[in-house]
Structures are given as C-alpha cells and as structure tokens.
Amino acid sequence: MLSPNDYEIILASGSPRRKDFMNQIGFPFTIKTFDVEESFPKNLKGKEIADYIVAKKSAPFKEIIHPKQIVITADTIVWLENEYLGKPKDETDAKNMLQKLSGKSHEVITAVGFLFDGQFDIINEVTEVHFNPLSEIEIDQYVSQHNPLDKAGAYGIQDWIGEIVISKINGSYTNVVGLPLAQVYQKIKSIIQN
C-alpha cells in the first residue's frame, strides 16, 4: 500500500459517501469545507459545469493551502438530453427530475479537483446510466423513503433505484455514487510519487 509520506490530504466535501470512499483508499485525510454556492454561467454544458463548480469549491483553499497539502474537491452532476440536473430544491423538484429520467439514458459526470504545490488539476469521469420506466407510485415511494434532496438528479445508485430501476451502466459505478475512486487513487498516487 502506497504511503502519502509527508502529504496531508484534505477532502473538501461534506458528502458521507465521498468520505466513505476516501476511507476505502486508506490514506489518512481530514475534512474541511467552505459554503460555496453551486451556481454557474448558463452557457456552460455538461462537463464544463462540473469543472466550473469544482474550481469554485477549490478557490477558498488557495489562500490557506500549505506546501505538502493536497485539497480534493468534487462535484457530480446529471446530464440528460442537454439539460443539467443538480440537487433538487424540494420533493416536487425531485419527482420532476425522476419523471424526466424515467425510461431514458443519461450521463453522470463527476469533476474532481486537486489543489497542491501551486497547481490545480481536474480529472473528469463520465458514466452512462440507463433507467427503466418508473411509475408515479414508484417515484412517490422513492422520494418519501430515500432522501433524494442531497443527490444530483434526485437519486442514489446505492439505493433501491440502483437495484430495481437502473438496467445498466457504462463506466465507473463509484462515479455515479459521487467519486470515481480508481481515478482519484491513481491521481493521488501520481502527485505523491512526483
């Protein structure tokens, strides 16, 4: 197992799922977050949106980062037929999003930012997700039982939807949960080794 030596890793995310994934990597890390509004210019599309928000989340750390620290920021979006689906505002918004996703394919895009030694790098991962059709009853049941308000596109692949509704995925499963783990591990490894 690779050791991060004298590097200090900071995860700039309050997501419990991302925290769990970072624990799986096995590197010691701390969590520090700033409140950042996840808005973006309307002309951005797909990957550009995730990249823009990740850069925004990294910005407050530029003034306080020390040498030998790696700050990791992440943003996951759902991109459906040229439309951005972020975290729903409320349950009605969540139901509308799930109705849009029902019976269709969409992309889950995660941008992960790495701030270190005066550099800022972004990696992207895109996973194609196929939904079976959802009935109104199923949507209502999911929204009432699975707290979709903190999830891009109003769903978590690790929930009931992933077992029952998602017919297939092309790409990284952990990316759909919120952090492309293999890619993040390789990037941390390359930073430490270089």
The one catalytic residue among 20, 35, 51, 75: 75
Other Cβ atoms within 10 Å of 28 Cβ, number: 12
CA distances from 79 to 12, 57, 74, 148 (A): 23, 20, 16, 17
**For the CA atoms of 14, 17, 18, 20, what is the dihedral angle to 10 degrees?**
110
CB under 8 Å to 169, separation ≥6 — which residues? Answer: 127, 128, 129, 130, 157, 176
Helices 16-25 + 181-193 axis angle, to 10? 50
Q: Cα(183)–Cα(110) distance, rounded to whole angstroms?
A: 11
φ and ψ at residue 193, rounded to 5 degrees: -75, -25
Residue pointed to by tokens 């910005």: 59
Paired with 30 in beta bridges are 10
| 75 is annotated as an active-site residue | yes
Which residues are bridge partners to 20 per DSSP?
none
- Indicate which residues carry an active-site annotation: 75
